[in-house]
Structure 1
Amino acid sequence: MAVKLDEIRKAADRVAASLGLDVVDVEFTGTAKSRILCIYLEKNAEGRAAQAAIAAAAVADPEAGADAEVVVPERLAKGELNPDQLSWLTHEDCAEFSRDFGTLLDVEDLIPDGEYTLEASSPGLDRKLTRREDFERFQGCLLKLQTQEPIANNRHWQGRLTQCSAESITVDLTATRQNSKSRKTGVSTVEIALGNIEKAQLVPEF
Protein backbone atom coordinates (compact mmCIF):
# COMPACT_ATOMS: atom_id res chain seq x y z
CA MET A 1 0.00 0.00 0.00
CA ALA A 2 1.39 3.38 -1.02
CA VAL A 3 2.16 5.96 1.61
CA LYS A 4 -0.11 8.99 1.30
CA LEU A 5 2.19 11.94 1.89
CA ASP A 6 -0.64 14.46 1.66
CA GLU A 7 -2.45 12.80 4.56
CA ILE A 8 0.78 12.54 6.54
CA ARG A 9 1.50 16.22 5.92
CA LYS A 10 -1.97 17.23 7.13
CA ALA A 11 -1.56 15.12 10.27
CA ALA A 12 1.90 16.57 10.89
CA ASP A 13 0.50 20.08 10.48
CA ARG A 14 -2.15 19.39 13.14
CA VAL A 15 0.34 18.06 15.67
CA ALA A 16 2.87 20.80 14.95
CA ALA A 17 0.24 23.54 15.33
CA SER A 18 -0.71 22.22 18.77
CA LEU A 19 2.95 22.64 19.82
CA GLY A 20 3.51 26.11 18.36
CA LEU A 21 5.43 24.72 15.38
CA ASP A 22 5.15 24.80 11.58
CA VAL A 23 5.95 21.96 9.18
CA VAL A 24 8.45 23.11 6.56
CA ASP A 25 8.73 19.90 4.55
CA VAL A 26 7.99 16.17 4.64
CA GLU A 27 10.16 13.51 3.02
CA PHE A 28 9.70 9.74 2.90
CA THR A 29 12.81 7.86 1.77
CA GLY A 30 14.52 4.49 1.94
CA THR A 31 13.64 0.95 0.97
CA ALA A 32 10.82 -1.29 2.14
CA LYS A 33 13.05 -2.65 4.91
CA SER A 34 14.53 0.69 5.95
CA ARG A 35 12.05 3.51 5.53
CA ILE A 36 12.61 6.99 6.99
CA LEU A 37 9.96 9.64 7.45
CA CYS A 38 11.64 13.05 7.86
CA ILE A 39 9.60 15.97 9.18
CA TYR A 40 11.33 19.35 9.01
CA LEU A 41 10.02 21.82 11.57
CA GLU A 42 10.42 25.35 12.84
CA LYS A 43 8.81 27.52 15.47
CA ASN A 44 5.69 29.23 14.15
CA ALA A 45 5.85 32.91 13.20
CA GLU A 46 4.97 34.06 16.71
CA GLY A 47 7.54 31.75 18.26
CA ARG A 48 10.28 32.80 15.85
CA ALA A 49 9.59 36.46 16.51
CA ALA A 50 9.71 35.90 20.27
CA GLN A 51 12.99 33.98 20.08
CA ALA A 52 14.51 36.59 17.77
CA ALA A 53 13.55 39.34 20.24
CA ILE A 54 15.11 37.44 23.12
CA ALA A 55 18.28 36.88 21.09
CA ALA A 56 18.44 40.56 20.12
CA ALA A 57 18.14 41.54 23.77
CA ALA A 58 20.90 39.09 24.65
CA VAL A 59 23.17 40.60 22.01
CA ALA A 60 22.47 44.09 23.37
CA ASP A 61 23.05 42.99 26.96
CA PRO A 62 25.15 39.79 27.13
CA GLU A 63 24.86 39.58 30.92
CA ALA A 64 21.07 39.57 30.73
CA GLY A 65 21.23 36.94 28.02
CA ALA A 66 23.46 34.77 30.19
CA ASP A 67 20.96 35.03 33.06
CA ALA A 68 18.21 33.88 30.72
CA GLU A 69 20.40 31.05 29.36
CA VAL A 70 19.91 32.29 25.81
CA VAL A 71 22.19 30.77 23.17
CA VAL A 72 22.79 33.29 20.40
CA PRO A 73 24.40 31.98 17.19
CA GLU A 74 27.71 33.74 16.60
CA ARG A 75 26.84 34.86 13.08
CA LEU A 76 23.54 36.29 14.29
CA ALA A 77 25.34 38.23 17.01
CA LYS A 78 27.69 39.67 14.37
CA GLY A 79 24.76 40.77 12.21
CA GLU A 80 25.75 38.35 9.45
CA LEU A 81 22.58 36.30 9.52
CA ASN A 82 18.93 37.12 8.96
CA PRO A 83 17.17 35.92 12.14
CA ASP A 84 14.26 34.68 10.07
CA GLN A 85 16.57 32.10 8.47
CA LEU A 86 16.74 30.32 11.82
CA SER A 87 14.08 27.79 12.75
CA TRP A 88 14.65 28.39 16.50
CA LEU A 89 13.82 24.71 16.98
CA THR A 90 15.01 22.96 20.15
CA HIS A 91 15.72 19.32 20.96
CA GLU A 92 12.72 19.44 23.28
CA ASP A 93 10.51 20.59 20.39
CA CYS A 94 11.66 17.66 18.26
CA ALA A 95 11.21 15.13 21.06
CA GLU A 96 7.72 16.35 21.92
CA PHE A 97 6.62 16.40 18.29
CA SER A 98 8.08 12.94 17.62
CA ARG A 99 6.24 11.48 20.60
CA ASP A 100 2.85 12.97 19.73
CA PHE A 101 3.12 12.50 15.98
CA GLY A 102 4.45 8.96 16.25
CA THR A 103 1.43 8.01 18.33
CA LEU A 104 -0.91 9.58 15.77
CA LEU A 105 0.78 7.78 12.87
CA ASP A 106 0.29 4.43 14.59
CA VAL A 107 -3.30 5.08 15.68
CA GLU A 108 -4.40 6.23 12.22
CA ASP A 109 -2.18 3.67 10.46
CA LEU A 110 -0.82 6.30 8.07
CA ILE A 111 2.30 4.26 7.27
CA PRO A 112 1.17 0.67 6.71
CA ASP A 113 3.23 -2.36 5.70
CA GLY A 114 6.27 -2.51 7.88
CA GLU A 115 8.65 -0.59 10.06
CA TYR A 116 9.81 2.98 9.62
CA THR A 117 11.98 5.52 11.43
CA LEU A 118 10.56 8.93 12.29
CA GLU A 119 12.99 11.84 12.29
CA ALA A 120 12.10 15.40 13.29
CA SER A 121 14.63 18.16 12.70
CA SER A 122 15.28 21.71 11.56
CA PRO A 123 15.32 22.40 7.79
CA GLY A 124 18.76 24.02 8.14
CA LEU A 125 20.16 27.18 6.61
CA ASP A 126 19.92 25.62 3.13
CA ARG A 127 16.21 24.97 3.56
CA LYS A 128 13.94 24.29 0.62
CA LEU A 129 11.57 26.94 -0.67
CA THR A 130 8.30 25.43 -1.86
CA ARG A 131 5.54 28.00 -1.37
CA ARG A 132 5.04 31.60 -2.45
CA GLU A 133 5.09 32.53 1.24
CA ASP A 134 8.61 31.10 1.47
CA PHE A 135 9.87 33.31 -1.35
CA GLU A 136 8.18 36.35 0.19
CA ARG A 137 9.72 35.65 3.57
CA PHE A 138 13.26 35.18 2.29
CA GLN A 139 13.53 38.17 -0.03
CA GLY A 140 17.07 39.49 0.20
CA CYS A 141 18.59 36.03 0.70
CA LEU A 142 20.73 34.00 -1.67
CA LEU A 143 19.10 31.03 -3.34
CA LYS A 144 19.65 28.52 -6.09
CA LEU A 145 16.90 26.97 -8.15
CA GLN A 146 16.06 24.79 -11.10
CA THR A 147 13.24 25.56 -13.50
CA GLN A 148 10.97 23.11 -15.27
CA GLU A 149 11.26 24.93 -18.59
CA PRO A 150 14.48 26.66 -19.68
CA ILE A 151 14.84 30.44 -19.59
CA ALA A 152 17.36 31.68 -22.14
CA ASN A 153 18.43 28.04 -22.63
CA ASN A 154 19.25 27.66 -18.94
CA ARG A 155 17.42 25.81 -16.15
CA HIS A 156 19.86 26.39 -13.27
CA TRP A 157 20.04 29.79 -11.60
CA GLN A 158 21.69 31.21 -8.51
CA GLY A 159 21.58 34.71 -7.05
CA ARG A 160 19.87 37.00 -4.58
CA LEU A 161 16.10 36.93 -4.33
CA THR A 162 15.18 40.59 -4.73
CA GLN A 163 11.45 40.50 -5.37
CA CYS A 164 8.43 38.20 -5.11
CA SER A 165 5.05 38.94 -6.65
CA ALA A 166 1.90 36.86 -6.83
CA GLU A 167 3.15 35.08 -9.94
CA SER A 168 6.94 35.37 -10.16
CA ILE A 169 10.25 36.07 -8.45
CA THR A 170 13.20 38.21 -9.51
CA VAL A 171 16.76 37.04 -8.94
CA ASP A 172 19.86 39.28 -9.02
CA LEU A 173 22.53 37.22 -10.74
CA THR A 174 25.36 39.61 -9.93
CA ALA A 175 25.27 38.52 -6.28
CA THR A 176 26.98 35.17 -6.96
CA ARG A 177 29.33 33.52 -9.40
CA GLN A 178 27.37 32.05 -12.31
CA ASN A 179 27.82 28.89 -14.32
CA SER A 180 28.80 29.14 -17.97
CA LYS A 181 25.23 28.91 -19.26
CA SER A 182 24.07 31.70 -16.95
CA ARG A 183 26.96 33.94 -18.02
CA LYS A 184 26.17 33.35 -21.69
CA THR A 185 22.68 34.78 -21.24
CA GLY A 186 24.25 38.20 -20.72
CA VAL A 187 21.61 39.31 -18.21
CA SER A 188 22.11 40.57 -14.67
CA THR A 189 18.63 39.72 -13.40
CA VAL A 190 16.11 37.06 -14.29
CA GLU A 191 12.37 36.89 -13.66
CA ILE A 192 11.03 33.40 -13.08
CA ALA A 193 7.39 32.37 -12.86
CA LEU A 194 6.58 30.58 -9.62
CA GLY A 195 4.86 27.84 -11.58
CA ASN A 196 8.07 27.21 -13.51
CA ILE A 197 10.19 26.52 -10.42
CA GLU A 198 10.92 22.82 -10.09
CA LYS A 199 12.97 23.13 -6.91
CA ALA A 200 14.62 25.91 -4.93
CA GLN A 201 16.60 26.30 -1.75
CA LEU A 202 18.46 28.93 0.23
CA VAL A 203 22.23 29.26 -0.07
CA PRO A 204 23.90 29.91 3.32
CA GLU A 205 26.10 32.99 3.41
CA PHE A 206 29.37 32.50 5.27
Structure 2
Amino acid sequence: MPKERVTDIVERLAQPIAAEVGVELVDVEYKKEGANWYLRVFIDKEGGVDIDDCTRVSERLSERLDEVDPIPSSYFLEVSSPGAERPLKKPSDFERAIGQFVHVSLYEPWQGQKVFEGELTEYDGESLTLSYAVKGVRKTARIPMEKIAAARLAVQL
Protein backbone atom coordinates (compact mmCIF):
# COMPACT_ATOMS: atom_id res chain seq x y z
CA MET A 1 0.00 0.00 0.00
CA PRO A 2 1.50 3.40 -0.96
CA LYS A 3 2.43 5.79 1.82
CA GLU A 4 -0.19 8.51 2.35
CA ARG A 5 0.89 12.00 1.26
CA VAL A 6 1.33 14.71 3.87
CA THR A 7 -1.24 16.91 2.11
CA ASP A 8 -3.84 14.12 2.22
CA ILE A 9 -3.27 13.53 5.94
CA VAL A 10 -3.45 17.25 6.73
CA GLU A 11 -6.56 17.67 4.59
CA ARG A 12 -8.26 14.87 6.52
CA LEU A 13 -7.28 16.51 9.84
CA ALA A 14 -8.16 20.07 8.76
CA GLN A 15 -11.56 19.33 7.20
CA PRO A 16 -13.52 18.91 10.45
CA ILE A 17 -11.70 21.87 12.04
CA ALA A 18 -12.61 24.13 9.12
CA ALA A 19 -16.23 22.97 9.35
CA GLU A 20 -16.32 23.73 13.11
CA VAL A 21 -14.98 27.24 12.49
CA GLY A 22 -17.51 27.77 9.68
CA VAL A 23 -15.10 27.99 6.76
CA GLU A 24 -14.37 25.85 3.72
CA LEU A 25 -11.06 24.05 3.34
CA VAL A 26 -9.93 25.03 -0.15
CA ASP A 27 -6.46 23.54 -0.49
CA VAL A 28 -3.43 22.17 1.37
CA GLU A 29 0.11 22.66 0.14
CA TYR A 30 3.36 21.24 1.58
CA LYS A 31 6.52 22.43 -0.07
CA LYS A 32 10.13 23.28 0.52
CA GLU A 33 11.29 26.82 -0.12
CA GLY A 34 14.98 27.36 0.42
CA ALA A 35 15.99 25.50 3.57
CA ASN A 36 12.48 25.54 5.09
CA TRP A 37 9.33 23.45 4.69
CA TYR A 38 5.95 25.21 4.61
CA LEU A 39 2.56 23.68 5.31
CA ARG A 40 -0.02 26.05 3.83
CA VAL A 41 -3.71 25.62 4.47
CA PHE A 42 -6.10 27.76 2.44
CA ILE A 43 -9.60 28.49 3.75
CA ASP A 44 -12.50 30.57 2.48
CA LYS A 45 -16.13 31.43 3.16
CA GLU A 46 -18.85 33.53 1.60
CA GLY A 47 -17.69 37.13 1.89
CA GLY A 48 -14.08 36.07 2.52
CA VAL A 49 -12.13 35.03 5.60
CA ASP A 50 -10.56 37.36 8.13
CA ILE A 51 -7.57 37.10 10.45
CA ASP A 52 -9.75 35.66 13.24
CA ASP A 53 -10.89 32.78 11.01
CA CYS A 54 -7.28 32.04 10.06
CA THR A 55 -6.15 32.20 13.69
CA ARG A 56 -8.88 29.84 14.92
CA VAL A 57 -8.09 27.26 12.24
CA SER A 58 -4.33 27.64 12.75
CA GLU A 59 -4.50 27.16 16.54
CA ARG A 60 -6.81 24.12 16.37
CA LEU A 61 -4.94 22.53 13.48
CA SER A 62 -1.57 23.10 15.16
CA GLU A 63 -2.82 21.26 18.27
CA ARG A 64 -4.16 18.40 16.14
CA LEU A 65 -0.92 18.15 14.15
CA ASP A 66 1.05 18.00 17.41
CA GLU A 67 -1.16 15.09 18.57
CA VAL A 68 -0.98 13.09 15.34
CA ASP A 69 2.56 14.19 14.33
CA PRO A 70 2.31 13.25 10.62
CA ILE A 71 5.30 15.38 9.57
CA PRO A 72 8.69 14.18 10.90
CA SER A 73 10.67 17.35 10.13
CA SER A 74 10.10 20.92 11.27
CA TYR A 75 7.90 23.19 9.16
CA PHE A 76 6.06 26.50 9.23
CA LEU A 77 2.25 26.33 9.35
CA GLU A 78 0.43 29.10 7.46
CA VAL A 79 -3.35 29.42 7.27
CA SER A 80 -4.72 32.01 4.85
CA SER A 81 -7.23 32.91 2.16
CA PRO A 82 -6.63 31.46 -1.30
CA GLY A 83 -6.80 35.01 -2.69
CA ALA A 84 -8.43 36.31 -5.84
CA GLU A 85 -6.96 33.51 -7.96
CA ARG A 86 -8.42 30.66 -5.96
CA PRO A 87 -7.64 27.18 -7.29
CA LEU A 88 -10.49 25.10 -8.71
CA LYS A 89 -10.13 21.45 -7.72
CA LYS A 90 -13.42 19.98 -6.52
CA PRO A 91 -16.61 19.70 -8.55
CA SER A 92 -18.22 22.28 -6.24
CA ASP A 93 -15.39 24.73 -7.07
CA PHE A 94 -16.14 24.45 -10.79
CA GLU A 95 -19.89 24.71 -10.27
CA ARG A 96 -19.45 27.86 -8.17
CA ALA A 97 -17.13 29.36 -10.82
CA ILE A 98 -19.67 29.20 -13.67
CA GLY A 99 -19.95 32.69 -15.13
CA GLN A 100 -16.52 33.71 -13.85
CA PHE A 101 -13.19 34.31 -15.60
CA VAL A 102 -10.84 31.34 -15.20
CA HIS A 103 -7.34 30.21 -16.17
CA VAL A 104 -6.98 26.57 -17.26
CA SER A 105 -3.67 24.77 -17.94
CA LEU A 106 -3.69 21.43 -19.76
CA TYR A 107 -1.38 18.42 -19.76
CA GLU A 108 -1.23 18.52 -23.54
CA PRO A 109 -2.58 20.82 -26.27
CA TRP A 110 -6.34 20.83 -26.91
CA GLN A 111 -7.64 22.63 -30.00
CA GLY A 112 -4.04 23.83 -30.51
CA GLN A 113 -3.63 25.37 -27.03
CA LYS A 114 -2.24 24.30 -23.65
CA VAL A 115 -3.55 27.33 -21.74
CA PHE A 116 -7.01 28.88 -21.86
CA GLU A 117 -8.38 31.98 -20.16
CA GLY A 118 -12.02 32.85 -20.47
CA GLU A 119 -15.47 32.64 -18.96
CA LEU A 120 -16.48 29.27 -17.57
CA THR A 121 -19.91 28.81 -19.11
CA GLU A 122 -20.66 25.14 -18.34
CA TYR A 123 -19.46 22.29 -16.15
CA ASP A 124 -21.00 18.81 -16.09
CA GLY A 125 -18.42 16.80 -14.13
CA GLU A 126 -16.93 15.28 -17.29
CA SER A 127 -15.90 18.48 -19.06
CA LEU A 128 -16.04 22.23 -18.83
CA THR A 129 -16.88 24.81 -21.48
CA LEU A 130 -14.99 28.07 -21.81
CA SER A 131 -15.86 31.12 -23.85
CA TYR A 132 -12.68 32.99 -24.75
CA ALA A 133 -11.38 35.51 -27.28
CA VAL A 134 -8.53 35.16 -29.75
CA LYS A 135 -7.65 38.41 -31.54
CA GLY A 136 -11.14 39.73 -30.90
CA VAL A 137 -12.90 36.61 -32.19
CA ARG A 138 -15.13 34.79 -29.65
CA LYS A 139 -14.49 31.05 -29.44
CA THR A 140 -15.72 28.17 -27.32
CA ALA A 141 -13.79 25.16 -26.05
CA ARG A 142 -15.30 22.10 -24.37
CA ILE A 143 -12.40 20.55 -22.45
CA PRO A 144 -12.49 17.07 -20.89
CA MET A 145 -11.60 17.17 -17.18
CA GLU A 146 -8.88 14.51 -17.59
CA LYS A 147 -6.95 16.93 -19.82
CA ILE A 148 -6.83 19.64 -17.12
CA ALA A 149 -3.58 19.93 -15.16
CA ALA A 150 -4.66 22.97 -13.12
CA ALA A 151 -7.49 25.49 -13.00
CA ARG A 152 -8.04 28.65 -11.01
CA LEU A 153 -10.09 31.80 -10.93
CA ALA A 154 -8.29 34.57 -12.81
CA VAL A 155 -8.23 38.33 -12.61
CA GLN A 156 -9.41 39.74 -15.93
CA LEU A 157 -7.32 42.69 -17.07
Q: TM-score, normalised by structure 1?
A: 0.69
Aligned equivalent of 1:102: 62
Q: Distance in 2 between matches of 1:121 and 1:20?
A: 14
- Letter of the 1:190 counterpart: A
1:12 Cα deviation from its structure 2 partner:
0.9
| Structure in which a larger fraction of residues adopt strand | 2
Going from structure 1 to structure 2, the CA distance change for 1:32 and 1:124 (only over 3 Å counts) comes to: closer
User: What residue in structure 2 maps to residue 160 of structure 1?
Assistant: 119
Other structure's SS at 1:133 match = helix
1:134 corresponds to which residue? 93
Runs ≥4 in structure 1, deviation > 3 angstroms? none
Aligned to 1:36, what secondary structure does the other structure show?
A: strand
Which residue of 8, 11, 14 corresponds with 1:9? 11
1:42-191 equivalence runs, <5 A: 42-43=44-45, 48=46, 86=47, 88-113=48-73, 115-174=74-133, 178=134, 188-191=139-142
Note the residue ranges of structure 1 that are not aligned, 5 or more in a row: 49-85
1:38–1:187 distance in 2 versus 1, CA, 3 Å: same
Shift of 1:152: 2.0
Count of matched residue positions in the alignment of Structure 1 and Structure 2: 154
TM-score when normalising by structure 2 = 0.89
8 Å contact kept, 1:26–1:38: yes
Higher-helix-fraction structure: 1
Unaligned runs of 5+ in 2: none
SS in 1 for 2:88: coil
Determine which structure has more spread, i.e. the larger CA radius of gyration.
1
Report deviation, 1:2: 8.4
User: Helix, strand or coil for the counterpart of 1:25?
Assistant: strand
